[in-house]
Amino acid sequence: MSTFVFLFLHDSWRSDNLFLVPDLVLCLLLLVAAALPATLAGPALLGAFAFASGVLATSVASYAVDGRLGVASLFGAVAAAIVAGAVASTGRYAGPDRRNVR
């Protein structure tokens, strides 16, 4: 939710903000994924964190083009990639637990 808070703190609700729509989509995806039942939450969280990583990596690149380092974006991109990897490594992102299926 830090992305959503960032929009308020840095007056990012302007129409010229390139990341306004991706940031709002990112927040919506994470909220929806978190509210889903466990069997659906894994795949949704994997997709949402992968999307977040991509949006934030693009933000880091946009700072780099200007010769700056977007530390908050960099931290967020790395964190989102780590969480996406953690969700993927559990094996539960593919749906319900299949241990009892023969």
59-77: per-residue pLDDT in tens? Answer: 999 999 999 999 988 999 9
Separation of alpha carbons 47 and 84, rounded Å: 8
Separation of alpha carbons 55 and 1, rounded Å: 14
CA angle, 81 as apex, 54 and 7 as ends, to 5°? 55
Report pLDDT for 40.
86
Question: Over 50: is that where the pLDDT of 5 sits?
Answer: yes
pTM equals 0.77
Separation of alpha carbons 3 and 72, rounded Å: 10
Question: Over 90: is that where the pLDDT of 89 sits?
Answer: no
Separation of alpha carbons 93 and 33, rounded Å: 12
Separation of alpha carbons 13 and 73, rounded Å: 17
Mean pLDDT computed over 67-90: 91
Report pLDDT for 68.
96
Split at pLDDT 50, 70, 90, the class of 58 is very high
